[in-house]
């Protein structure tokens, strides 16, 4: 069952109920008992269903802060809301949809781009086994989208084919400008792609191109 949680909230925050499985597998379900979840805009205002913003969590399982780091916590002391740094939205039913980490969101020519949306589009290609999308700084344009992919056994695909595939599913500014076909993607102990390492790989190649 899809679940959303984080260490600062003592793990689980929302989980999809078995009663609605598999109807709402694109969501993380509703908040657990005694927890409140809001999706907030840049001004801190709680947003309406369907609007995207930062996920905030409140309840008895939410940490008051970080040990010995009084300036590091993002918990509002007056109301004890944890600002998670995750981007999401809520359905009219109250079920939570997690979209991205805020730090992973990209800006391309003034437009916000969700790495998860680009990853989903690329993952529909039959040759793709795994994909991770990151942003490479591109001056006034904000970011240039870069995608690292691994292929299924015995599969073959060209960069042009991947770009054409993405172009049929995404707006032109969301189509990756850079691709890298890897044997494996670096992952942490929890199995999540290490975006920082993948981003550093692309940055090193951009630097080599600029110095050539």
Q: What is the DSSP string of 69-134?
A: -TTT--EETTTTEEEEEEEEEE-TTS-EEEEEEGGG-EEETTEEE-HHHHHHHHHTSTTEEEEEEE
Helix 159-167 vs helix 115-123: crossing angle, to nearest 10: 110
Segment 106-119 mean pLDDT: 89
Q: Of 193 and 129, which is predicted with more confidence?
A: 129
- pLDDT given at position 69: 67
What is the C-alpha to C-alpha distance for residues 79 and 82, in angstroms, rounded to an integer? 9
Is the confidence at residue 94, as pLDDT, over 70?
yes
Q: What are 2-48's pLDDT values in tens digits? A: 899 998 899 899 999 999 888 888 899 999 999 999 999 989 899 99
- pLDDT given at position 1: 86
- pLDDT given at position 78: 41
Q: What are 54-80's pLDDT values in tens digits? A: 999 999 999 877 777 665 555 444 457
Which of 178, 182, 203 lies closest to 118 in space, CA to CA?
178
Percent of the chain whose predicted confidence (pLDDT) is above 90:
55
Is the confidence at residue 194, as pLDDT, over 70?
yes
Percent of the chain whose predicted confidence (pLDDT) is above 70:
92
- Label residue 11 left, alpha or beta by phi (over 0 means left) and psi (-120 to 50 means alpha): left
- pLDDT given at position 5: 92
């Amino acid at each position: 069952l899809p679940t959303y949680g984080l260490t600062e909230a003592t793990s689980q925050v929302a989980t999809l109920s078995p009663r609605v499985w598999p109807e709402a597998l694109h969501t993380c379900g509703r908040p657990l008992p005694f927890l409140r979840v809001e999706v907030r805009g840049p001004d801190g205002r709680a947003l309406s269903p369907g609007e995207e913003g930062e996920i905030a969590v409140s309840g008895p399982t939410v940490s008051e802060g970080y040990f010995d780091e009084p300036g590091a916590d993002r918990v509002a002391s007056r109301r004890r809301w944890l600002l998670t740094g995750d981007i999401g939205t809520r359905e009219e039913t109250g079920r939570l949809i997690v979209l991205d980490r805020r730090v992973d969101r990209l800006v391309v020519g003034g437009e916000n781009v969700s790495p998860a949306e680009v990853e989903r589009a690329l993952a529909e290609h039959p040759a793709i086994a795994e994909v991770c999308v990151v942003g490479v700084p591109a001056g006034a344009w904000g970011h240039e989208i870069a995608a690292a992919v691994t292929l299924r056994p015995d599969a073959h695909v060209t960069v042009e084919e991947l770009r054409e595939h993405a172009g049929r599913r995404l707006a032109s500014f969301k189509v990756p400008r850079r691709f890298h076909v890897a044997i494996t993607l670096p992952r942490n102990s929890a199995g999540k792609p290490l975006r920082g390492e993948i981003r550093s790989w692309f940055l090193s190649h951009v630097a080599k191109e600029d110095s050539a």
